[in-house]
Amino acid sequence: MKRKVAIIGSGNIGTDLMIKVMRTSSVLEMGVFVGIDPESDGLARAKRIGVATTHEGIEGLLNHPLWPEIEVIFDATSAKAHVYNYNKIKAYPGKITVDLTPAAIGPYLVPPVNFHELKDVPNVNMVTCGGQATIPMVAAVNRVAKVHYGEIVASISSKSAGPGTRANIDEFTETTAQAIEKVGGADKGKAIIILNPAEPPLVMRDTVFTLSEMADQDAIRESVSQMVKEVQQYVPGYELHQEVQFDIISADKPVFIDGLGYRHGLKTTIMLKVKGAGHYLPEYAGNLDIMTSAALATAERMIQQQEKGAQA
């Protein structure tokens, strides 16, 4: 039996997630689609395809007849709004909240890296689009050689950056940098986002730089390749843009890293591109697609874990 979900946020991310739940999930089904603008395109689309809606935000959801049946809540609003929303939701134990904002009330979760540690947590945070794309790569290097420093540059089409993304730029960089450390395993993390105005729009591209202890380069290549395959299980458009590149930073010519001092070792450069599935958004909006895909995969796995536990 499929489990009912609610999606809070009727913008691009929320609408794409709704379409994914309906088209692709064998575990979840739509319950209520929640917004605050009765004229929004997302709410109008939900109504046309027969999904229950409310334009009264979290209060409308809590008062909706389907609320008792809702087992998973996806929050695709903003960092500030999620704090308000979750203060209401947490009064109802037993419900899973998957946070797609940079609020990070709950721990950061990147499915192929640390799901096994957080499968029973009631509120998990999906970091950011850049984090979902790049942290698996930092972790892939770190499981071969200790990563001292991880830096990511996420380049997304300007057309795929809506008001919510633009309003949360500072939170994006801070949250992603913290997750590079806490989830990716780097001693120090840094994140940069670039809004690319190119026409026609380009798909999401990410560059990951790590400085680690010296290690076998083939072992790192293999670890990266395996991690790419794991991400592709829920984001088919995720792939290496070029072969993994290496540079040796010698002990007599170390680099200075703010907060760490001088470091030497192996520099690894990983270049990625992420093409969206095109369910609701254009294929170039891979930054939004990887967030909704990761959130959906997380919720599905959590429900499946619950079912396994109940059967044991």
User: Is the CB of residue 298 less than 8 Å from the CB of residue 231?
Assistant: no
CA dihedral 158, 293, 116, 88 (to 10 degrees): 80
- Give the H/E segment covering residue 32: strand 28-34
- Residue linked to tokens 């939701």: 89
Whole-number Å distance between alpha carbons of 224 and 145: 12
Question: What is the C-alpha to C-alpha distance for residues 117 and 181, in angstroms, rounded to an integer?
Answer: 16
CA separation (Å) from 112 to 134, 164, 264? 12, 26, 29
Give dist(CA 248, CA 201) in Å, integer.
35
Sequence-distant (6+) residues with CB within 8 A of 74 are 5, 6, 7, 8, 9, 14, 17, 98, 100, 295, 299
Q: Name 213's Cβ contacts closer than 8 Å, sequence gap at least 6.
A: 145, 146, 148, 265, 266
DSSP three-state, residue 35? coil
How far is residue 26 from each of residues 6, 22, 128, 252, 300, measured CA to CA in Å?
16, 9, 25, 56, 9
> Which is catalytic among the residues 34, 129, 154, 291?
129
Q: ω before 200 within 30° of 0 (cis)?
A: yes
To the query of whether residue 129 is one of the catalytic residues in this protein, the response is yes
Q: Name, in order, each residue with C-beta under 8 angstroms of 107's C-beta and a sequence gap of 6 or more.
A: 118, 121, 124, 125, 182
- First CA to last CA distance, the chain: 18
Instruction: Just list the catalytic residues.
Output: 129
